[in-house]
């Protein structure tokens, strides 16, 4: 059985007229102007598919043309038809099954596993407590879903037993991609010049970039953290556990093993936001990628990643393409090594004037104030005169903060574009929750308990602007002039 990704329909899309469908690589690129967006239900697949199509664009055409040519392409609503002749010349690179070369696979892989290992949200082995239940060896995947699972490997692979390693970015970071009014527009927005191109993994899947050398664009976008070989689809068929489609045969097993250490500190991912790392003298490790927190930990900092993320975005010109607002797709995958926690997605509209010459735009200041106020709340609800560090107060706030921060970060566009009205609404989320917390921390009907509840219920973030502190005057030397 063969399944060539150039023509087989495996990419879920929404057409401009609202129809849902699936297309192959050739149609996705040829009709990109008529496709509204990638329509995958899991945000990880949205990022994986968009980056894969971008890699194909680099592979076929190299660096982007000048802005005038890009404008003409957008006006025409399609890429020139002869741009992708290379796909026909190397069609065998995209065979998913069958004899010979296979897409993103290595016939030297030797570790028999269930095919559902390709999807983090499908349980395997003895992982019982899931909303979706799966039985190893019985449930299977259709070829189209297998392709989607393989495309996740460069972006979202994590470390685990026996010797599985994370991908080139290490712990999966938050990915930030500008998106346009069509797939064509989105590809053009992300088509940037970033040094040498290199070779994609569908040509040489086992190649490693030598340590200490800069990672070329195509190598970085497609570096595989697993060696996989899909076993042929087998009867009886059934319902694919990935997409729910009825199939005459399913892929139930595969060879699945580590590809070794792939994390590379010199890889400059075009869709990752980096921040300086404190207390390090190693220039190679002087920065770190912003990642999504593990919400199951007791004292996680949900405010820290999204506050840092949006502050870096709006303070940088990286995401500025013209004088119009820019829509950004943000996707994060929270993990604890091999434990998969959550997939996190946001759409953010960056205002046209967000990136200015000022090092701290007003919208960034609002996020910073919110961040500081969240840290101060435990101290504000501590009883007056108490010398306790308030561990129970911190724990109580940590219990409600995930809900509040999730609601607030979902409204990030309003926080950036309408801060005067949006930040008071963010404070209202605490206003609803603090009285409930007060009843739990100070039960009873004594005068002291009522006063304590009022103190807790009124402890809200103060989003009024802070005056700029005056610079300190340098202290003179002791002893006066000599």
Task: Give the per-residue pLDDT at 319.
Answer: 72
Could you write out the three-class secondary structure of the chain? Answer: CCCECCCCCCEEEEECCCCEEEECHHHHHHCHHHEEEECCCCHHHHHHHHHHHHHHHHHHHCCCCCHHHHHHHHHHCCCCHHHHHHHHHCHHHHECCCCCCCCCCCCCCCCEEEHHHHCCCCCCCCCCCCCCCCCCCCCCECHHHHHHHHHHHHHHCCCECCCECCECCECCECEEEEECCCHHHHHHHHCCCCCCCCCCCCCCCCCCCCCCCCCCHHHHHHCCCEEEEECCCECCCEECCCCCCEECCEECEEEEEECCCCCCCCCCCCCECEEECCCCCCHHHCEEECECCCCCCCCCCCHHHHHHHHHHHHCCCCCCCCCCCEEEEEEEEEEECCEEEEEEEEEEEECCCCCCCCCCCHHHHHHHHHHHHHHHHHHHCCCCCCCCCCHHHHHHHHHHHHHHHHHHHHCHHHHHHCHHHHHHHHHHHHHHHHHHHHHHHCCCCCHHHHHHHHHHHCCCCCCCCCCCCCCCCCCCCCCCCC
pTM for this predicted structure: 0.87
Task: Give the per-residue pLDDT at 230.
Answer: 97
Task: Give the per-residue pLDDT at 322.
Answer: 61
Task: Give the per-residue pLDDT at 254.
Answer: 96
| 10-residue stretch averages of pLDDT, the chain, 482 residues long | 92 96 97 96 96 97 93 95 94 94 94 93 76 85 97 93 90 94 95 90 76 88 95 94 93 94 91 82 75 71 70 75 79 85 86 52 73 84 74 80 83 83 92 91 90 91 72 58 47
């Amino acid at each position: 059985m063969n399944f060539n990704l150039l023509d087989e329909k495996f990419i879920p899309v929404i057409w401009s007229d609202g129809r849902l469908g699936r297309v192959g690589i050739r149609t996705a690129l040829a009709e990109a102007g008529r496709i509204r967006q990638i329509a995958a239900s899991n945000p990880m697949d949205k990022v994986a598919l968009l980056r894969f199509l971008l890699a194909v664009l680099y592979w076929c055409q190299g660096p982007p043309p000048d802005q005038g040519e890009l404008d003409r392409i957008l006006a025409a609503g399609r890429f020139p038809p002869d741009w992708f002749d290379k796909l026909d010349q190397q069609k065998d690179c995209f065979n998913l099954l069958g004899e010979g070369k296979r897409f993103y696979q290595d016939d030297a892989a030797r570790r028999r596993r269930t095919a559902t290992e390709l999807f983090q949200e499908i349980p395997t082995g003895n992982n019982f407590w899931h909303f979706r239940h799966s039985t190893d060896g019985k449930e299977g995947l259709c070829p189209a879903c297998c392709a989607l699972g393989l495309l996740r490997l460069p972006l979202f692979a994590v470390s685990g037993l026996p010797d599985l390693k994370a991908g080139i970015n290490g712990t999966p970071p938050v990915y930030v991609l500008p998106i346009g009014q069509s797939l064509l527009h989105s590809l053009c927005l992300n088509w940037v010049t970033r040094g040498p191109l290199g070779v994609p993994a569908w040509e040489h899947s086992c190649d490693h970039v030598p340590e200490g050398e800069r990672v070329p664009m195509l190598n970085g976008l497609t570096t595989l953290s697993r060696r996989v070989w899909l076993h042929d689809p087998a009867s009886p068929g059934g319902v694919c556990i990935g997409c729910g489609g009825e199939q005459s045969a399913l892929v139930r097993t595969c060879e699945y093993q580590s590809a070794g250490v792939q994390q590379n500190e010199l890889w400059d991912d075009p869709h990752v936001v980096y921040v300086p790392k404190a207390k390090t003298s190693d220039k190679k490790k002087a920065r770190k990628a912003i990642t999504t927190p593990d919400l199951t930990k007791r004292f996680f900092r949900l405010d820290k990643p999204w506050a840092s993320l949006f502050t870096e975005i709006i303070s940088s010109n990286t995401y500025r393409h013209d004088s119009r607002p820019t829509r950004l797709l943000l996707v994060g995958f929270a993990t604890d090594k091999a434990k998969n926690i959550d997939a996190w997605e946001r759409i953010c509209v960056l205002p046209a004037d967000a990136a200015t010459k000022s090092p701290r735009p007003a919208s960034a200041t609002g996020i910073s104030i919110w961040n500081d106020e969240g840290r101060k709340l435990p101290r504000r609800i501590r009883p007056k005169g108490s010398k306790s560090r308030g561990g129970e107060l911190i724990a109580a706030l940590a219990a409600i903060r995930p809900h509040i921060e999730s609601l607030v970060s979902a409204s990030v566009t309003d926080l950036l574009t309408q801060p005067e009205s949006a930040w008071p609404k963010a404070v209202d989320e605490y206003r609803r929750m603090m009285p409930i917390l007060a009843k739990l921390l100070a039960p009873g009907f004594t005068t002291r308990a009522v006063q304590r509840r009022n103190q807790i219920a009124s402890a809200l973030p103060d989003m009024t602007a802070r005056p700029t502190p005056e610079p300190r005057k340098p202290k003179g030397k002791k002893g006066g002039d000599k």
